[in-house]
Amino acid sequence: MALLITDDCINCDVCEPECPNEAIYMGPEIYEIDPNKCTECVGHYEVPQCKEVCPVNCIPFNPAWRETPEQLLAKYERLQAEAKKPA
């Protein structure tokens, strides 16, 4: 599953720099998570870093975006390969 940020977000700016996949960005009103980039930190950390630092606990799992640990690892590997491609 990817993660999502709920309307409880207070725009404190602590989650965005913690995301190793740069999946978190400022939306029209609150921060949002791109589910195509979110791996729940699989491949980087044991737990999602955004959830660890969020002071209001507004980053649950996205029930509309279900992925197995194997799928998350495959996404991580794809993102890493894309990041290494020359521009």
Residues 13-52: tens digit of each pLDDT: 999 999 999 999 999 999 999 999 999 999 999 999 999 9
In sequence order, the β-bridge partners of residue 24 are 33
CA 11 – CA 41 distance, rounded (Å)? 21
50-86 pLDDT, tens digit each: 999 999 999 999 999 999 999 999 999 999 999 888 7
CA 62 – CA 44 distance, rounded (Å)? 20
CA 29 – CA 1 distance, rounded (Å)? 23
What domains, with CATH codes, occur in the chain? 16-84 (3.30.70.20)
CA 29 – CA 42 distance, rounded (Å)? 28
Q: What pTM was computed for the model? A: 0.91
CA 73 – CA 70 distance, rounded (Å)? 5
